[in-house]
Amino acid sequence: MKHILAFVLAAFAATAAAQSFPSKPIRILVPSPAGSSPDIRARQIGAKLTESLGQPVIVENRPGANGMIAARETVRAAPDGHTLFLALINNAIGDALNPDPCCRLNRELMPVSRFTMTPLVIVVNASLNVQSVKEFVELAKAKPGALTYASGGTGSISQLVGEWIKSEAGIKVLEVPYKGVNAEIPDLLAGVVMAAYVVPQVIVTHVKAGKLRALAVAGPSRLAMFPAVPTTAEAGLPGVEAIAWNGIFAPAGTPPPVIQILHRELVRAYNAPDVKNQVLATGSEVAGDTPEEFAAFVRSESAKWSKVIRDANIKPD
């Protein structure tokens, strides 16, 4: 009887929480600086949520510690739907490489809905005499250790895909780590580093200007902005996919009815024509999946990158 009563009371409390939600401003904590791509995305949906939920939605930037500063602050907040976290793929990779029991995705942070998916593009300096992934691999085999690729450092998606390609193709390419996202672009353009794995919007103008050459898209399909550039599978690297993604999480314990409200309004915001068109224009696409689908996706990402980390023997700094 006590168990039934506790269940009824919990269900009543959850329903009451949903009926009064939101009762105050909502915060979205973003683990990157103002003006960054994730920040812009958060502000786009924040404006839509303000309209639909009738409460101000405030984006707060908490960069640092590979996303953990923002994650930690979210987990410490009341689990009532008023504090949200825009998680990035870095958080899933961090959980695979060096998990912090304070704030793991699908554990202390519960998925609400995935927002955007952006495949990385394999690019080389135009002076490198290769026109395809096949030719890049052949050159790397002919000159072991002579070619270089830029990464965002240990545990970055660019490092992991760089090591994955080396393993799959059986080549030796020297990693050159950089401290910030896209910090390698000036050196890539100058030919200081020969190859990189980057999101399309960062290099589209340089590719069209002939300064960089796109060899493959590390996603399931070609991009409208690079229709002639094959996917990694088409280029001879089946299975090698690297998608930069982001999505909204809430602290564990947030009532399911509140999660449902947030999911409904987030998906509506993601699919607003102005938001969706801007996302597509940058070579990304909107996911907008359910909390259950997002949780399954995070599990699959964790398994994929855990294997790459093991196979490449990558250790946390």
The CB density around residue 179, as the number of other CB atoms within 10 Å, is 8
Region for 288 from its dihedrals, namely left if φ exceeds 0, alpha if ψ lies in -120 to 50, beta otherwise = left
What is the per-residue pLDDT for 7? 54
The chain-wide mean pLDDT, for the chain, equals 93
Other residues' Cβ atoms within 10 Å of the Cβ of residue 205: 10
Integer CA distances (angstroms), 287 to 104, 216, 239, 294, 306, in order:
21, 22, 20, 9, 23
User: What is the reported pLDDT for 285?
Assistant: 95
At 212, is the pLDDT very low, low, confident or very high (cuts 50, 70, 90)?
very high
The confidence score (pLDDT) of residue 182 equals 84
Strand segments (E) across the chain: 26-30, 57-61, 83-88, 109-119, 121-125, 148-151, 174-177, 195-198, 212-217, 243-251, 285-286
What is the C-alpha separation between 247 and 111, in angstroms, rounded? 8
pLDDT of residue 194: 98
Whether 3 has a pLDDT exceeding 70, the answer reads no
The tens digit of pLDDT for each residue in 155-192 reads 999 999 999 999 999 999 999 999 877 899 999 999 99
CATH number of 121-217: 3.40.190.10
**11-30 tens-digit pLDDT:** 555 565 667 899 999 999 99
pLDDT of residue 187: 97
Instruction: State whether residue 196 is helix, strand or coil.
Output: strand
Q: pTM for the complete prediction?
A: 0.91
269: pLDDT strictly greater than 90: yes
CA distance 123 to 203: 8
Q: Which fold has domain 2-117+244-312?
A: D-Maltodextrin-Binding Protein; domain 2 (3.40.190)
Asked whether residue 233 carries a pLDDT value surpassing 90, the answer given is yes
Residue 267 clears pLDDT 80, i.e. is over it: yes
User: pLDDT-based confidence at 230, cuts 50/70/90?
Assistant: very high
- Written as one string, the DSSP assignment of 249-289 is EEETT--HHHHHHHHHHHHHHHTSHHHHHHHHHTT-EE---
pLDDT digits (tens, 9 = 90+) for 237-250: 999 999 999 999 99
Residue 156 contacts residue 204 (beta carbons within 8 Å): no
